[in-house]
């Protein structure tokens, strides 16, 4: 209904993910079988450069896979998306360093984009201190990425506009302390915990700049703008969860009767029309979203720089998909009955995951 017939996720993998989703939520992290699948399929390396041992898949293929996984288990899709997204940063590291990191056994990169720490200049490197929130997949991370304010002699280093300079870093997990803090109503198995670093030194080569001009890997993936990549991957997750909800809603509605009209709920014309309208609206927004994603990717793959208007079109289509997803879930939920409010039901887990994931700051209307 929402996903195309040619799903990038095999039925066997989908069944395996689904089978362990409830157990993963109960334990508050991905089930070992789900973790093994992420590694076996190489999904956590799908955005890393081929030269460093990654798959370097075309972005539209990656986004469709992320949506398909989100259509089965939101937490697993979120870990996949955020950790594979951090693997994309390998395209901005020195190539030999990137090869060593991506070649790590069961490599998984997690992290946070907020500049809530500082990096003090120390010889040929930086001494990092700070704390960061929302590192999805933290328990399985082998490395953490972060943004930090640069300092020298205790004072912030300033850019040409007089603002503090901020730099991205990649730090081995051995230098990081995970702080269990993830207590959300949904996405429980994403284990998006906080983490801290206390006065740990890293070589300057572990710092990097996220910009097409600073890419160390060839290929269109590393010329695609960071924020455009973030918009499409996050929106696809939200759409996948909304599609999952829409597949679960009709059976819930089918067990209910309208109290006033004394008809099966799905036989009430207004209710049937609402369901049809939300399905069609989401399908239309999804089609437009993928048309914009595919168009933007074709431009970048051909060597064309994505112009500001093109990047804005990608952002607009992403937010329109999120808006259609929100409208579908929020307007249909009241018709799904108390079963949908039961914490142990699948539709309730999907509803909670959806409303947690869609709180991401980039997805604000």
Q: From CA 194, how far away is CA 265, in angstroms rounded?
A: 44
Reading the block at residue 163, the tokens are 């603002």
Decide: helix, strand or coil at residue 203: strand
From first to last of the 365 residues of the chain, give the pLDDT tens digit.
Answer: 334 446 899 999 999 999 999 999 999 999 999 999 999 999 999 999 999 999 999 999 999 999 999 999 999 999 999 999 999 999 999 999 999 999 999 999 999 999 999 999 999 999 999 999 999 999 999 999 999 999 999 999 999 999 999 999 999 999 999 999 999 999 999 999 999 999 999 999 999 999 999 999 999 999 999 999 999 999 999 999 999 999 999 999 999 999 898 999 999 999 999 999 999 999 999 999 999 999 999 999 999 999 999 999 999 999 999 999 999 999 999 999 999 999 999 999 999 999 999 999 999 98
Q: From CA 337, how far away is CA 151, in angstroms rounded?
A: 56
Count of H-run helices and E-run strands, the chain: 10, 9
Ordered domains of the chain (ranges, CATH) = 11-102 (1.10.540.10), 110-214 (2.40.110.10), 224-363 (1.20.140.10)
Decide: helix, strand or coil at residue 126: strand
Which helix (H) or strand (E) segment holds residue 144: the answer is strand 143-152
Residue 156 and residue 164 in contact, taking contact as beta carbons nearer than 8 Å: yes
The reply to whether the predicted model has a pTM over 0.75 is: yes
Tell me, what's the pLDDT at 2?
Answer: 39
CA 204, 167, 141, 221 torsion-angle sign: negative
Residue 82 and residue 39 in contact, taking contact as beta carbons nearer than 8 Å: no
Tell me, what's the pLDDT at 3?
Answer: 42
Q: From CA 165, how far away is CA 160, in angstroms rounded?
A: 9
Q: From CA 205, how far away is CA 92, in angstroms rounded?
A: 10
CB atoms within 10 A of CB 9: 20
Tell me, what's the pLDDT at 7?
Answer: 82
CB atoms within 10 A of CB 262: 8
Residue 29 and residue 191 in contact, taking contact as beta carbons nearer than 8 Å: yes
Q: According to DSSP H, which parts of the chain are helical?
A: 11-19, 21-27, 32-40, 59-70, 74-87, 95-102, 226-254, 269-301, 308-332, 346-357
Residue 257: phi, psi to the nearest 5? -120, 150
Which residues have C-beta within 8 Å of that of residue 346, sequence separation ≥ 6? 21, 22, 248
Reading the block at residue 40, the tokens are 């076996």
Q: From CA 213, how far away is CA 286, in angstroms rounded?
A: 31
């Amino acid at each position: 209904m929402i996903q195309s017939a040619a799903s990038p996720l095999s039925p066997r993998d989908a069944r395996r993910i689904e089978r362990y989703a409830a157990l993963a939520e109960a334990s508050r992290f991905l089930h070992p079988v789900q973790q093994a699948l992420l590694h076996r399929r190489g999904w956590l390396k799908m955005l890393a450069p081929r030269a460093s041992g990654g798959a370097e898949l075309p972005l539209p293929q990656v986004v469709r896979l992320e949506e398909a996984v989100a259509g089965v288990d939101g937490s697993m899709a979120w870990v996949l998306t955020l950790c594979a997204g951090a693997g994309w940063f390998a395209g901005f590291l020195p190539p030999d360093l990137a090869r060593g990191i991506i070649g790590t056994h069961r490599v998984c990169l997690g992290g946070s984009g907020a500049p809530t720490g500082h990096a003090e200049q120390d010889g040929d490197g930086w001494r990092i201190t700070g704390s960061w929130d929302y590192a999805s997949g933290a328990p399985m991370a082998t490395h953490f990425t972060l943004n930090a304010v640069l300092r020298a002699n205790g004072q912030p280093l300033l850019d040409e506009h007089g603002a503090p300079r901020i730099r991205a870093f990649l730090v081995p997990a051995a230098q990081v302390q995970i702080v269990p803090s993830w207590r959300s109503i949904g996405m429980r198995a994403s284990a998006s915990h906080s983490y801290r670093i206390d006065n740990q030194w890293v070589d300057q080569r572990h710092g990097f700049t996220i910009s097409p001009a600073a890419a160390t890997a060839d290929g269109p993936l590393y010329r695609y703008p960071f924020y455009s990549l973030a918009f499409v991957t996050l929106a696809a997750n939200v759409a996948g969860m909304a599609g999952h909800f829409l597949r679960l809603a009709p059976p819930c509605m089918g067990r209910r009767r309208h109290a006033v009209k004394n008809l099966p709920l799905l036989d009430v014309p207004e209710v049937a029309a609402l369901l049809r309208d939300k399905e069609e609206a989401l399908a239309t927004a999804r089609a437009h979203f993928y048309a914009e994603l595919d168009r933007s990717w074709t431009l970048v793959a051909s060597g064309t720089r994505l112009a500001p208007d093109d990047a804005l079109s990608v952002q607009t289509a992403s937010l329109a998909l999120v808006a259609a997803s929100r409208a579908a879930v929020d307007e249909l939920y009241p018709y799904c009955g108390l079963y949908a409010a039961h914490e142990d039901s699948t539709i309730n887990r999907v509803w909670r995951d959806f409303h947690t994931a869609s709180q991401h700051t980039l997805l604000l209307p």
